[in-house]
Amino acid sequence: MLSNNLLTENILDQVARLPADWRATLDQPELQNILATLAKWLDKECQDGAVIYPAAPFRALELLPLQKVSVVILGQDPYHGPDQAQGLSFSVPDTCPAPPSLRNIFKELELEYPQPPLPPSHDLSNWGRQGVLLLNTSLTVEDGLPASHAKKGWEQITDALLMNLAQQSTRPIVYMLWGAHAQAKEALIQQQAQCPHLILKANHPSPLAARRPPVPFIGCGHFRLANEWLTQQGATPIQWFATGA
């Protein structure tokens, strides 16, 4: 049976449906040229038989208008297996087993909230609806080939999205930067931020790094720290155990 998260639609058609504030970010001529080149390349790859995920690369933006972002969790690229990636960093459908990094995210949540009101959902869509931007720096990937779409143009697109978010948002924002790849965006955020912001840094939740120095992910306390800071800023905290339905 074919996977149901294959990219089949031209990405330019998907961009045209985005909330107006994100679409305005991508309307810059330079970014339009990059998107057009990406769209042409992705269409050719699919026509040549490549299996590419996810079906909705921009889903993180579809769920959440720019002015409603209160937390950013930055991933690297989508999961590269069938039925996993759904356009949200670290998230998979509830019908899919939790990948190792997501399992470690849940382990950290359980440390911070020892008596959770609900079991965590593998599908993090509800985080997105509450104000958590679950953005990968590359928005597509080929089946079985992690980082296969890195340095194809996606990084310029997602850097512009992060930059414009930092410039235009009027809300306090927590940036959770896990691992060196995400932390490389700290300077961009710091230089552009026009509103109160908190940057939280730790190792990536991957089993290869989650418990290692210099800042182990397990035990980082980021979920509570984010909510405490948002509350101090007069913003609404995130219900981390809300379901993804």
Active site residues: 77
User: Taking a C-beta distance cutoff of 8 angstroms, is the pair 83, 96 a contact?
Assistant: yes
Number of Cβ within a 10 Å radius of residue 62: 17
Interatomic CA distance for residues 157 and 238, integer angstroms = 27
Task: Give me 176's structure tokens.
Answer: 């959770």
Interatomic CA distance for residues 195 and 176, integer angstroms = 16
Which uninterrupted H or E stretch holds 141? strand 141-142
From the list 125, 120, 122, 109, the residue with the least C-alpha distance to 241 is 120
Number of Cβ within a 10 Å radius of residue 118: 10
User: Taking a C-beta distance cutoff of 8 angstroms, is the pair 192, 167 a contact?
Assistant: yes
User: Taking a C-beta distance cutoff of 8 angstroms, is the pair 73, 42 a contact?
Assistant: no
